[in-house]
Structure 1
């Protein structure tokens, strides 16, 4: 082999070594592809589910915290949710379909209770008596929406027991005597007294309102809208459960 041939062979070997080294550098030691995790990605959702929920709402800005907790009727291991309403309130009427849908999403360890709001011996209290009457008769789910609609859409105020008895008979076939007897029952009066005591403890200035665990009050003013109320209430239910675990 001539010197010229040896020189060419040496250069070829040298270039081969360089190519092998370059392949190692670019393939073996190159940085791994970075995975970008967004909040909507499955990775982010899985990571979030393993940690505590983010603090989305603030006391005093989105909901109220009562200085003195109001006693609840829920089992100790459950979270009580109270929806306070008045049949004569258009905002309560607008919120009610949202409440009904939201109620279906609540877990088994959440106890949902409706409470009619009233602040004295007036039409509010008369409507509260109507609510407890139909509840005691086992008719709440059957007639609740109908009562709302009668007052809000037909503009029938149902201002006394006589009007209520006529309405219940006409729309739902309830005997007036049966309704009137239950409407004037002592048990209904006791329920009104108990509800009034709790309502004072909630320190409400109006309705609608959602009370979580007798401590947290969600109202349209701080919530910003009716739609936000169940969302904030969900957050507070999670907060109560986490606080109990802590």
Structure 2
């Protein structure tokens, strides 16, 4: 009788075991810092000029829906976009300070990648902000402000700290970097992130 009970238990457990994700360090992710954040934080290093970052935005939005307590951080890098790289980085920071980032980021991505209208200078950036409801005086008040300079310095510090050289780069809990080429699908992306968020 005990034998049959054991077999039945094994059969019931088999689907659970097979469904468990098997993610390995050095394959789907690597460790980039010794200490993990105690918060469920995911950091995305990105650039407005990066086509992969543009395509990646719906995944990040769905990730927020799947993980309700997720802290999602976006860090703009300055090394893409040539002379416009630092300008676009400041544009993101300005949007954050003006509390319009969620509105402006899709606009910037759409303008650059769908409309093929790459901003040529800060004046073009300013025009986009104004066209989307930001007062000219408000934009002028933040774009060269001490607060924005501090944010830009922090963006660069984080980019250097995690040795980011390409985008999008995804860091989970300040400790694990995803190997996007090994993940392979949208659902697997969510599973890997959720798995890493569960680690101590």
- The Cα shift of 1:125 comes to 1.9
Between structure 1 and structure 2, the one with the greater Rg is: 1
Note if 1:118 corresponds to 2:93: no
The structure with higher relative contact order (CA 8 Å, sep 6+) is 2
2:169 is aligned with 1:206: no
Deviates more, 1:91-100 or 1:197-206: 197-206
Instruction: Please list the CA deviations of residues 16-75 of structure 1 after superposition, one character each: whole Å capped at 9, or x if unmatched.
Output: xxxxxxxxxxxxxxx78x6442655xxx4xxx7xxxx946111111112115559x6xxx
Structure 1 residues 218 and 60 mapped into 2: Cα distance closer, same or farther (>3 Å)?
same
- Structure 2: 5+ residue stretches without partners: none
Per mean C-alpha deviation after superposition, the further-off stretch among 130-139 and 217-226 is 217-226
Give SS of 1:57's match: coil
Q: Deviations over 1:71-129 (max 9, x none)?
A: x6xxxx42321111111111001110111111122142x32111112338832221111
CA pair 222-193 structure 1, distance change in 2 beyond 3 A: farther
Tell me, in whole angstroms, the C-alpha distance in 2 between the residues paired with 1:127 and 1:226.
28
8 A Cα contact 1:210 1:218, kept in partner: yes
Q: Match of 1:122, SS?
A: helix
Measured at CA, do residues 159 and 98 of structure 1 come closer, stay the same or move farther in structure 2, by a change above 3 Å? same
Tell me, in whole angstroms, the C-alpha distance in 1 between the residues paired with 2:86 and 2:34: 25
CA distance in 2, matches of 1:122, 1:214: 29
Q: Unmatched 5+ residue regions in structure 1?
A: 1-30
The match for 2:95 is 134
Contact preservation (8 Å) 1:86, 1:118: yes
Query: 1:168 is paired with a residue of what secondary structure?
Result: helix
Question: Could you say what secondary structure the match of 1:152 adopts?
Answer: helix
Aligned residues: CA RMSD: 2.8
**Cα distance 1:226–1:95, how it changes in 2: closer, same or farther (>3 A)?**
farther
What is the aligned counterpart of 2:147 among 180, 183, 187? 187
User: Which 10-residue stretch deviates more, 195-204 or 130-139?
Assistant: 195-204
Give the TM-score taking structure 2 as reference length: 0.83
d(CA) in 1 for partners of 2:165 and 2:43?
Answer: 16
Q: How many angstroms apart in 2 are the aligned matches of 1:55 and 1:168?
A: 43
